[in-house]
């Protein structure tokens, strides 16, 4: 008797077909623990790390003329 080659996709389809026949088994061992872990991490476990930031403009912001003269290589004291 010759064994035929079985590829990965066929194995996955056989497992899926078997799981669909036994939905209660899949629900008991996959879905229920997944939901329990999700609930624990979202509502029960406190986060260890937190970050916050304050975004504010610089204290001494240059005028548009000073910015343009700096880009062109000039001195801002010459313009004002």
pTM for the structure as a whole = 0.36
**Do residues 77 and 63 touch, judged by C-beta distance below 8 A?**
no
Cα angle: 18, vertex 16, 22; to 5 degrees:
40
Tell me the CB-side half-sphere exposure of residue 64, using CA atoms within 13 A.
0
pLDDT at 76: 47
With vertex at residue 72, the alpha carbon angle to CA 67 and CA 57, rounded to the nearest 5 degrees, is: 15
- pLDDT < 70 stretches in the chain: 1-3, 58-59, 61-62, 70, 73-80
């Amino acid at each position: 008797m010759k064994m035929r080659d079985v590829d990965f996709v066929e194995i996955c389809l056989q497992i899926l077909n078997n799981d669909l026949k036994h939905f209660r088994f899949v629900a008991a061992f996959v879905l229920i623990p997944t939901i329990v872990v999700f609930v624990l991490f979202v509502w029960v476990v406190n986060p260890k790390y937190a970050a916050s930031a304050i975004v504010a403009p610089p204290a001494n912001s240059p005028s548009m003329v000073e910015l343009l003269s700096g880009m062109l290589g000039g001195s801002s004291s010459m313009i004002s």
